[in-house]
Amino acid sequence: MENKSKELVRILRETYPDAKCSLDFKTPFEMVVAVMLSAQCTDERVNKTTPTIFAKYSTPEDFANIELEKLEGLIHPCGFYKNKAKNIKKCAQVIVEKYNGKVPKNMEELMDLPGVGRKSANVIMLEAFGSAQGIAVDTHCRRIANKLRTK
């Protein structure tokens, strides 16, 4: 099974040599925010929304200190804005208070951040830190994999 997995990874790398995350970000914290906004939202919508936000607010300190209502207004186009704003603000506060303003670089600490689950932590680890500890699979990929397994 390990040889088949390695062969599959080789084929995928050859077939898609330029594959990358479709979320736009410049810093690990911007990646955290973008991933949180992408829940139940397209990456395209997130990428249209974040440039304006990140031009004025880009650090954990900025987001920890922003008024919740202001943040809700900024992220409104991404949907579920009340819950996302609450989690983004709390996440930023934890990063500032517990991690001296730096996004943690391990799965356990990332998953302890408000609004960050295993899938999000895997995306952040890979894209922001170049460390793959798992594979982030969306519902469409999971559905196709399950169909292939039954044939």
In the numeric block, which tokens belong to residue 21? Answer: 């995350």
C-beta of residue 32 within 8 angstroms of C-beta of residue 23: no
Q: Catalytic pick from 18, 26, 56, 138?
A: 138
- The packing angle between helices 81-99 and 68-75, to 10°, is 120
Q: Which of 110, 16, 95, 34 is nearest to 62 (CA)?
A: 95
Q: For this structure, is 89 an active site residue? A: no
User: Are 36 and 78 spatial neighbours (Cβ–Cβ below 8 Å)?
Assistant: no
Q: Which of 86, 90, 105, 119 is catalytic?
A: 119
Contact 61, 101 (CB under 8 A): yes
Is 138 one of the annotated active-site residues of the chain? yes
Copy the structure tokens of residue 44: 């395209």
Q: Which residues are catalytic?
A: 119, 138
